[in-house]
Amino acid sequence: MADIISFRKAKKSLSRKAHDQEAIENRIRFGRTKAQKEHDRRSEEKRAALLDGVKRDDPKSE
């Protein structure tokens, strides 16, 4: 004999599986480790400091 299936539970289960799969894909696509974020932050700070160090003040603009 066939098992009795609650359509509500089956629908929720399918929805949960789809949501979990999307979360896995997003982690792969957008996820970065703490070390990667720290490296990017330090690189940006270094780049900004380098650019600020070579700026020239224009006496005509003052």
Residue pLDDT, tens place only, 22-62: 999 999 889 988 999 999 999 999 999 998 877 777 767 65
pLDDT, position 51? 86
The two tokens of residue 45 are: 């700070």
The two tokens of residue 25 are: 């894909």
pLDDT, position 62? 57
CA distances in angstroms from 52 to 27, 40, 48, 49, 58, listed in the order given: 35, 18, 6, 5, 14
Q: How far apart are CA 35 and CA 61, in angstroms?
A: 42
